[in-house]
Structure 1
Amino acid sequence: MYVAVKGGARAIDNAHAWLAEERRGDRTVPEMTVAQIREQMGLAVNRVMAEGSLYDPDLAALAIKQARGDLIEAIFLIRAYRTTLPRFGGAQPIDTGNMACDRRISATFKDVPGGQVLGPTFDYTHRLLDFMLAADGDVPEAAMGDPAGDPVPHVTEFLNSEGLIQPEPESDAVPRDLTREPLELPADRALRLQSLARADEGFLLGLAYSTQRGYARNHAFVGELRIGSVAVEMDIPDLGFAIEIGEITVTECETVNQFTGSKTEPPQFTRGYGLVFGQTERKAIAMALVDRAMRWEELGEENVGAPAQDTEFVLSHCDNIQATGFLEHIKLPHYVDFQSELELIRKLRAQAKAAGQEDAT
């Protein structure tokens, strides 16, 4: 057994060395720096920060480099690192109403105060390969408009002023922290939103798509999608007031959904909500759609058995780190388990063969 352990350890060390060699690639090609990843692969960095629950572009870029571009592995690295960090306190809720918007669009109203701001987006590109990028040519500078000015109101406030959209209840209750406490069901909306914010983007996208195709009776409009910087403030007990400790970039999406009303609520619109680190609009929209689908019970709607309506199913399977761990553990040694099942199959086959011979006689 000792020889086998030593042999296994040596093989693992060699595998690590080979992994480092593969990560580096052709040494005649300049090595990619963390700064290059941070600045030129921003959307990948944003996803790692969002699903890793840690806002630090440099660390996210480092994790992507270490993981050879495997974003789920990078997210795993970030989450593992996050557990080593000391906790000094909690920040106040960010005020997205004071966001300095780089991008702000609405699919429900054409003319809104502050205007439609397209910002940096793939929405209007032709999805054709740009071979100029392979030539490492200079990128033309964008014709920048005025920098972000005064804060702009949320589009759903227009509906709210007429009582046409369900108001969101306010609460001073401190939500549970999913990064410090295990998920417990049933989960309130605050905990569900936390789980969705760090859920796997692909899983969430599939669920959101299913709601649009009829698996939840969830017809939605994007009331507003905004991306920009918001201040993060923290209460300092010694000072007796909050101070700004930095800024983060977030993506916020509010969907406007049809609602026919219930015994206690008049016909009105309802909301789905998504808020994610960085420019992560596909994730934020998907999050809002799934959030709305899971609200069926509190709104008195019918559960049609759609996957996105099953809160336990969604929250128990949306975390890519848990899913990856359970999926990939089956490639590790299971010699003893398999041998026991192999012996069982052999025994059953022998019994079936003996029974067949007895029937023949």
Structure 2
Amino acid sequence: MYVAVKGGERAIENAHDWLAEERRGPADIPELSVDQIKSQMTLAVNRVMAEGSLYDPDLAALAIKQARGDLIEAIFLIRAYRTTLPRIGHSRPVETDKMACDRRISATFKDAPGGQVLGPTFDYTHRLLDFKLAADGEVPEAATAAPLQGDMPRITEFLNRDGLIQTETPSDEPPRDMTRQPMEYPAGRPLRLQALTRGDEGFVLGMAYSTQRGYGRNHPFVGELRIGKVSVEMDIPELGFAVEIGEITLTECETVNQFHGSKTQPPQFTRGYGLVFGQTERKAISMALVDRALRWEELGEDNLGAPAQDEEFVLSHADNIQATGFLEHIKLPHYVDFQSELELVRKIRSEAQANTLKEAAE
């Protein structure tokens, strides 16, 4: 017979205490500080900020520490904290063409105007374990250069001089805010980009990979990938002009995609776009590929039935907080539901057995 498990407040408190003990680890090992996480686990901090929709490295590092390194749990903590913050205004759109670039590369133009800057990247490492790190070996000083300053025009605009790439036309309508308004379909490109930049990196990566393998019409080149700091400005009504309120680090990616034309568009290159907090280039590239796959209707292409072309499928499943909540709720008590299912199965089995005996008797 099934017996419902009983628990209570004391058990939950003990679970919390045990969790805190496991998070701290052995007391003879120095505790990991928030500053250490912020300065030495920057890519994890960047992901938490991007998918948590809150640019604050200190809070992201604290969330990672509290979550024992579970980034989705840390993102959940940041999202929850974000809802408590007042919104005092809106910043102006950031001007990424004036980004102070630490990294700027193009897979389409070798001699890119302004030069290619590799920056800090894993691209050319050998992917071999460095045991010097385990021995606390000294790290060689890098011959770093100052970030590229001044106007930094996008490399894709050089294609546009000859009309070889689709011109982006900005909309006059202000984009909807998905953090304050429910998602509606069709969503439109601005709302799709909001959802993708907040989406789970693994999911967006999987969708992007699927388009490269043929589940969608995507043959991309990275026209430009840039990482650096941009100024954030805000209009102050009392002053009558905008003031700079800070700087944030962004990763921006524009892909160049083959396009053979359609009934409504001439043969030309088209774009995919990704913009993410921090140095998050895998996410930005993935976002650009999925963005392009979702533009099939706008460009007059045929829908091949690929998952990455299905706006509702992609946007409904990209958010890791929604996915985690729906998935993990099934481990919480469902005693009443299960009892009803149990009684139903017993009734069906009893009726089936009775029918079998009746048929055998006849």
The TM-score, its normalising length taken from structure 1, stands at 0.97
Aligned to 1:210: 210
Q: Distance in 2 between matches of 1:182 and 1:35?
A: 36
Query: Match for 1:87: what amino acid?
Result: R
Query: Can you give the 5+ residue segments of structure 2 that lack an aligned partner in the other structure?
Result: none
Say if 2:280 is the partner of 1:296.
Answer: no
Q: Distance in 2 between matches of 1:251 and 1:345?
A: 54
Q: Distance in 1 between matches of 2:338 and 2:147?
A: 63
Q: Deviations over 1:226-252 (max 9, x none)?
A: 000000000111111111100000000
Query: How far did residue 343 of structure 1 move?
Result: 0.6
Query: Match for 1:187: what amino acid?
Result: A
Aligned to 1:183: 183
Query: How far did residue 11 of structure 1 move?
Result: 0.3
Aligned to 1:24: 24
Say if 2:274 is the partner of 1:274.
Answer: yes
Aligned to 2:81: 81
Partners of 2:178 and 2:191 within 8 A in 1: yes
Aligned to 2:121: 121
Residue-pair matches, total: 358
Q: Distance in 2 between matches of 1:157 and 1:75?
A: 35
Query: How far did residue 178 of structure 1 move?
Result: 1.2
Query: How far did residue 6 of structure 1 move?
Result: 10
Q: Deviations over 1:175-221 (max 9, x none)?
A: 11112222121101000000000000000000000000000021110
Query: Match for 2:249: what amino acid?
Result: T
Partners of 2:105 and 2:226 within 8 A in 1: yes
Tell me, what secondary structure is at the counterpart of 2:221? Answer: strand
Q: Map 1:185-334; keep pairs closer than 5 Å.
A: 185-334=185-334
Q: Distance in 2 between matches of 1:141 and 1:148?
A: 20
Q: Distance in 2 between matches of 1:74 and 1:181?
A: 24
Query: How far did residue 5 of structure 1 move?
Result: 12
Query: Match for 1:285: what amino acid?
Result: I
Q: Deviations over 1:283-308 (max 9, x none)?
A: 00000000000000111101111000
Query: Match for 1:54: what amino acid?
Result: L
Tell me, what secondary structure is at the counterpart of 1:133? Answer: helix
Query: How far did residue 137 of structure 1 move?
Result: 2.0
Say if 2:40 is the partner of 1:40.
Answer: yes
Q: Map 1:49-68; keep pairs closer than 5 Å.
A: 49-68=49-68
Q: Distance in 1 between matches of 2:178 and 2:141?
A: 42
Say if 2:137 is the partner of 1:137.
Answer: yes
Query: How far did residue 152 of structure 1 move?
Result: 1.9
Query: Match for 2:176: what amino acid?
Result: R
Partners of 2:265 and 2:300 within 8 A in 1: no
Query: Can you give the 5+ residue segments of structure 1 that lack an aligned partner in the other structure?
Result: none
Tell me, what secondary structure is at the counterpart of 2:130? Answer: coil
Partners of 2:227 and 2:251 within 8 A in 1: yes
Say if 2:157 is the partner of 1:157.
Answer: yes
Runs (4+) of structure 1 exceeding 3 A deviation are 4-7
Q: Distance in 1 between matches of 2:67 and 2:187?
A: 33
Q: Distance in 1 between matches of 2:233 and 2:184?
A: 29
Aligned to 1:97: 97
Q: Distance in 2 between matches of 1:5 and 1:349?
A: 25
